[in-house]
Structure 1
Amino acid sequence: MWKNNYLFPVFLFCCSLLSGQSYFNFQLEGQTRFEGKGVPDVHIMNITAGEATISDQNGRFTISVTMGDTLLFSAVQYQRKSLVISTSILESSFVYVTLEEFVNELDEVVVRPYNLTGDLIRDMNGMKTEQVVTASTLGLPNAYVKPLMQSERLLKEASMGPFQIGMLTAVPFNPLINMITGRTKMLKKRVARDKKYLLTEQVRNYYPDSIFVKRLGIPAERIDDFMYYCEVDEKFDSIVATDDHIAILNLLRLKSKTYRENNQLE
């Protein structure tokens, strides 16, 4: 009886090591963000373990953590933020850390000769500035026009219709020739393919390679092939259009399972 009481806790401890071994010296990946964009050069310190790292140009970082560790995030122009490592964070293996802008409020002072008070909002409202000259402020017709891709420009050129020359209407032969030869149809397919490629690249840049390799089980050399496999899914465009990173990652997780099965990667 004594042996059973002694061995049972040891057995539970060993099981916890086997089932939760990822909670020890876990490499946590994440991204520091502000207003939806990655923040580079953020100092991330594990004040519990005494380790530190710095976010890259896209705001991404990797740091070793264990359950209960406290991470401290600090950067110029942003408020310090702490994060306690919980079970949900370890299970997600990737975390987005949203930073808040640091506003240094000064005591009211008067600075001559501009009569500045030190209150940025009050001073900005009281300052007279010249209007910024841009295409939009000038009201130019093409101010908000999105630049066309090369394939879109070629398609537009190949499909140009009649145009006026004085009192006469000229009908160019290029659109007719392009339609007969199939060039217009080919360019339409190229435009659709280019738009799909840009959408796929957008998703590809949301996550580091380690997410595909570690969480989705996709070998690094097959990530591009996997993304092509995902983009042919009819749900891909609508889910990506939401810009919901969690929903997109869930779609990738579902697609990764069938991709691994189809390619014998299990």
Structure 2
Amino acid sequence: MNSEIKVAPLLFVALLISPLLSQGQDTPVRNRELKGRIVETGEGIPNVHLLNLSAERATITNADGYFSMDTRVGDTVLISAIRYERKTFVVTDQMLESSGLQIEMVPFVNELEEVVVRPYNLSGKLDEDLLNLSVEEPVTAASLNLPNAYAKKRTQAERQLIEAKTGGGLIPLNPVLNAISGRTKMLKKRLARDQAYLQTQEVRARYADSLFVSELNIPEIRIPDFMYFCEMDSEFAGLADSEDLLKMWDFLKAKGLEYRKANELE
């Protein structure tokens, strides 16, 4: 009889605390979309890189500074952009639930201690020193008003093509001989190839290599080959000339799928 009286309270306590124990069990954390805007004094900043260091993912802001990326509560995100101080933050529930998240960036300023440089009495503050310092105007083609002062410097391929198409005398033989031999045609192809290569390199420089690896799943060693693959598409040159980073990124994502499938990288 006494043993039954002792067991009943123990059973009651076990039933009471079992729901509390089940609530304390770990539940799987799911990915959620973090949306926001990177700004400076209220203006959106384009082409800002956001790297989720915890999940090894990355994204880039669009032309108006907006971004979205998959994250989890507790992930650490690094924000990196030219001319701005780097910033890191830890993702919280409030951030994920916010519909108007804005992250203010601070322009990078390399401050120096105040110094005085003799004999010019320079303080190290450029804006003040430029006003107080008397500097003679350098001698340049522009200051001398020469005809070629603002002429664009030609590449080697451009100079060779001009040389092949010009010549002196009553009947210039140089253009005729180069046309017959095929040298002019060859130089035109070389110039077009050089220009296309430079354009491709400019496009690649707009995005960090980490984005090609993390977002497009292109191995770093194959990025040059992938860019050449994109260059062969007829839409590439027009998008490159437009300098629309968002449209070009959409194009690169689509080409990334084609490239991985063609090279069996899936």
Same fold (TM over 0.5): yes
1:131-210 correspondence runs (5 A): 131-161=137-167, 163=168, 169-210=169-210
Q: Which residue of 1 aligns with 2:44?
A: none
Q: Which residue of 2 aligns with 1:59?
A: none
Q: Deviations over 1:166-194 (max 9, x none)?
A: xxx43331210111222111111110011
1:1-266 correspondence runs (5 A): 13-14=27-28, 16=30, 25-27=54-56, 67=74, 69=76, 82-85=87-90, 99-101=107-109, 121=127, 124-125=130-131, 127-161=133-167, 163=168, 169-266=169-266
Contact in 1 for aligned 2:56/2:214 (Cα 8 Å) = no
Q: Deviations over 1:133-152 (max 9, x none)?
A: 22222222222222222221
Which of the two has higher C-alpha Rg?
Answer: 2
Q: Distance in 1 between matches of 2:75 and 2:188?
A: 55
Q: Does 1 or 2 have the higher relative contact order (CA < 8 Å, sep 6+)?
A: 2
Contact in 2 for aligned 1:226/1:259 (Cα 8 Å) = yes
Unaligned regions of 5+ residues in structure 2, if any? 1-15, 35-50, 61-71, 97-104
Q: Distance in 2 between matches of 1:152 and 1:214?
A: 38
CA gap of 1:17–1:148, structure 2 versus 1, over 3 A, is closer
Q: Distance in 1 between matches of 2:162 and 2:231?
A: 26
Contact in 2 for aligned 1:105/1:119 (Cα 8 Å) = no
Letter in 2 for 1:148: R
CA gap of 1:4–1:72, structure 2 versus 1, over 3 A, is same
Contact in 1 for aligned 2:52/2:58 (Cα 8 Å) = no
Letter in 1 for 2:89: V
Identical positions, percent: 36
Contact in 2 for aligned 1:24/1:67 (Cα 8 Å) = no
CA gap of 1:244–1:132, structure 2 versus 1, over 3 A, is farther
Partner SS state of residue 84, structure 1: strand
Q: Greater shift after overlay, 171-180 or 126-135?
A: 126-135
Deviation at 1:154, TM superposition (A): 1.3
TM-score by length of 2: 0.58
Letter in 2 for 1:130: E
Q: Distance in 2 between matches of 1:153 and 1:114?
A: 44
CA gap of 1:246–1:137, structure 2 versus 1, over 3 A, is farther
Contact in 2 for aligned 1:23/1:67 (Cα 8 Å) = no
Deviation at 1:130, TM superposition (A): 1.8
CA gap of 1:129–1:16, structure 2 versus 1, over 3 A, is same
Q: Distance in 2 between matches of 1:6 and 1:264?
A: 49
CA gap of 1:170–1:211, structure 2 versus 1, over 3 A, is same
Q: Deviations over 1:79-135 (max 9, x none)?
A: 8664435579xxxxxxxx7734367899xxxxxx99999986566445543222222
Unaligned regions of 5+ residues in structure 1, if any? 32-64, 89-96, 107-112, 164-168
- Greater strand share, 1 or 2? 1
Q: Which residue of 2 aligns with 1:40?
A: none
Q: Greater shift after overlay, 134-143 or 251-260?
A: 134-143
Q: Distance in 2 between matches of 1:238 and 1:260?
A: 23
Instruction: Say how many residue pairs are matched.
Output: 209
Over the aligned positions, Cα root-mean-square deviation in angstroms equals 4.7
